Structure 1
Amino acid sequence: MTCKPLIGLNADYRAAARNMPAYSYIAAGYFQSVIAAGGIPVVLPPMDDPESIHEALEVIHGFIMIGGADLDPRNDGFMLHPSVRPLDPVRETSDRLLVADIAERRMPVLGIGTGMQLLNVHQGGNLFLHIKEDLPNAVPHHDPQDPNHRHTLNVEGDSLIGRVYGDGEIRVSSRHHMAIDEVAPGFRVTAKCPDGVIEAIESEMMDWFALGTQFHPECGAASALDVRIFEEFIDGVRERMNQEDLRLVA
């Protein structure tokens, strides 16, 4: 019987306020999607200790970097735009340590929303800080009144995203005001909104199964096709596990 892969998930963080203690949390859609796809979710709270993160990743087979608030552009040498609502520094510090270790060990990774943006930034790409200003002709990618806001997608057929969605018009759940500008070296764009905003990237590196979606396949409005992204990711993780088993036998 094939072992179920352990899939790491980072968690969000909210600082203590008034009579509320600090706490860490994660939207249920992420770990529910992992379970439905045949993986075992392992949620890691924010940690600022690289050694602890390294040891945790030693026993994990793949990782999903979840969405959330905005990356603080000051951490990448840019000014803070008025529209940016940064992640709590406790989470962003931990997320950056996680991505650095994941990239170093070439662990299979799926970045969603902010997770995709961080993957791109860490690997040498950059971001538009506010779509309305940087791409004024873009369609709305965020509706404060509709958390399940959807828009269409154009997909590259020869990609994982292409295998998931196939041909025809696709609609995905989207809620972001930042977006990828320059794509990191070693990655290619595999899906865009018709307005040109990048919605998915995938690694072209032979030794790293890595992809990201700006849209949210884990959300409540996700379709059966959206959920297949997690199935494809879990399948890729299993393939990596089998390759490592073969190397050990050899």
Structure 2
Amino acid sequence: MIRMSKTVIGINADYRAAQGEKPALTYLTAAYYDSILQAGGLPVVLPPLAEEADIHQALDLVDGVMLIGGADLDPRRDGWMLHPSVRAMAPRRESFDRTLARVVADRRVPVFGIGAGMQLINVTRGGNLHLHIPEDVPTALPHKDNLDPAHRHTLELRPGSLMERVFGDGELRVNSMHHMAIDDLAPGFHVTARCPDGIVEAIESTSPDWFAIGTQFHPEADTASALDVRIFEEFVIGVKESREAVRIAA
């Protein structure tokens, strides 16, 4: 029998419905799973499961979950009107993602949300979103430049947070490619990084029994820095420590 020693991280994937003769696809940018591998974890891709019981069984096989970025969450699912700037993700993926995020929170599975993944954690736990930063926060800096995929801005970090531990002192710039952002923060979280204009760029759970973090920026992207990659190392370490604490308590 092979003894598993690596921390197993489940990763949701993107989805494209069938288009004419083109079959439906489940796909994932390699940088997500490569980042987990480089951090010492073992990534496992989760397809868009329809049954909640299947999601529970899948979570029995992993130590933590990473919720990836992608297209926009559909605000109508949270009782808001559809803004014309919203480019909603495939309904099958969003239905799965929302159920997965809820079950992860209920079970206190360690989780890291990136981009739309962080936004998903926030709305799942009772927060809400700016649907279009240029309209909702007119004084905000540009957070998306369609002509410059490497667009970056600085961050202001919360003292004592995981983000401060990763980035430390000095000039810090992260990639920025979003038009939606957290508005009201969900209970049980605090903001650990903001853009100087006030837009939320990172969150962490304040619950001692749940290791949950999120970044609006993308530490897995080609535009990320070497420091950004350390977030994955902190995540894998945090998942391992969380699981060890559960094992000891049991």
Return the offset for 1:168.
1.6
Partner residue in 1 for 2:124: 122
Partner residue in 2 for 1:205: 207
Query: Could you tell me the TM-score, scaled by structure 1's length?
Result: 0.97
Partner residue in 2 for 1:66: 68
Return the offset for 1:151.
1.0
Partner residue in 1 for 2:77: 75
Aligned residue type for 2:234: E
Give the SS at the match of 1:87.
coil
Partner residue in 2 for 1:99: 101
Aligned residue type for 1:217: P
* Cα separation, 2, equivalents of 1:145 and 1:17: 28
Alignment counterpart, residue 21 of structure 2, candidates 16, 19, 22: 19
Give the SS at the match of 1:236.
helix
* Cα separation, 2, equivalents of 1:243 and 1:185: 24
Contact 1:157 1:166 in 2 (8 A): no
Matches within 5 A, 1:156-235: 156-235=158-237
Return the offset for 1:222.
1.2
Aligned residue type for 2:161: S
Cα offsets for 1:5-25 (capped at 9, x unmatched): 100000000111122111010
Aligned residue type for 1:193: C
Identity in percent: 60
Return the offset for 1:245.
2.6
Matches within 5 A, 1:28-47: 28-47=30-49
What is the Cα-based RMSD across aligned positions, in Å? 1.2
Return the offset for 1:146.
2.3
Partner residue in 2 for 1:238: 240
Return the offset for 1:2.
8.6
Which 4+ runs in 1 deviate beyond 4 A?
Answer: none
Cα offsets for 1:186-230 (capped at 9, x unmatched): 000000001110000100011100010000000011111000000
* Cα separation, 2, equivalents of 1:7 and 1:182: 28
Unaligned runs of at least 5 residues, structure 1? none
Q: Bigger CA drift: 186-195 or 16-25?
A: 16-25
Cα offsets for 1:81-114 (capped at 9, x unmatched): 0000001000000001100110011010000000
Partner residue in 2 for 1:57: 59
* Cα separation, 1, equivalents of 2:39 and 2:4: 14
Return the offset for 1:147.
2.2
Contact 1:148 1:219 in 2 (8 A): no
Unaligned runs of at least 5 residues, structure 2? none
Query: Could you tell me the TM-score, scaled by structure 2's length?
Result: 0.97
Partner residue in 2 for 1:111: 113
Partner residue in 1 for 2:11: 9
* Cα separation, 1, equivalents of 2:179 and 2:51: 31
Partner residue in 1 for 2:151: 149
* Cα separation, 2, equivalents of 1:179 and 1:97: 21
